[in-house]
Amino acid sequence: MTPLRPARRLSFALDKVLAAAEDASAATAYSTFYDTPPPGPCLVFTAQYGIYLMSNALRPEGTESVRTFADGWGENTDPTHFLNCGGILDYLPLNDPEWGDINGAGDDNTLLDALRAATAHGDTLITLHITPDDESNDQDQEDGGGFWLAMTTS
């Protein structure tokens, strides 16, 4: 059995995450990664040439997606040793109440609603808490295994 990777935390500037979320929410078409269609507007959690969250809004050729890097994981960093994997890691759907439970409130907010509320409350950071998934750790050794995400703001 492969030893479990320790839990990790990544912090992002909340205003920049909200800007990427608003960009995705305003879009009418969405980028597809690895032949997996997105479930509508999303933030895309990415670990490739840095660790960042980006809008999945389909952009005109030659323009960059709205994105924000995790603190300490800018464009020229190699995230593979931190997360033990790389590439597009997950879609974070903006309109799904399952993803809106920031800070463990257990309410029915969407992720976009929760980001807006946290900003209005005066929070400035959003932290992704990344916990390895025991069951997928053995099955997906090549790409680093699976993980669970939780979010908090402060």
Q: What is the pLDDT of residues 2-25, one digit of tens each?
A: 444 567 899 999 999 999 999 999
Tens of pLDDT, residues 79-89: 877 776 666 67
In a domain, 56, yes or no: yes
- 3-class SS of residue 115: helix
Q: How many domains is the chain partitioned into structurally? A: 1
Angle between helices 111-120 and 14-26 (to 10 degrees): 140
Residue 92 pairs with which residues in a beta bridge?
43
Q: What is the CATH number of the domain that holds 135?
A: 3.10.150
| Residue 3 domain flag | no
133 part of a folded domain: yes
1 within some domain: no
In a domain, 44, yes or no: yes
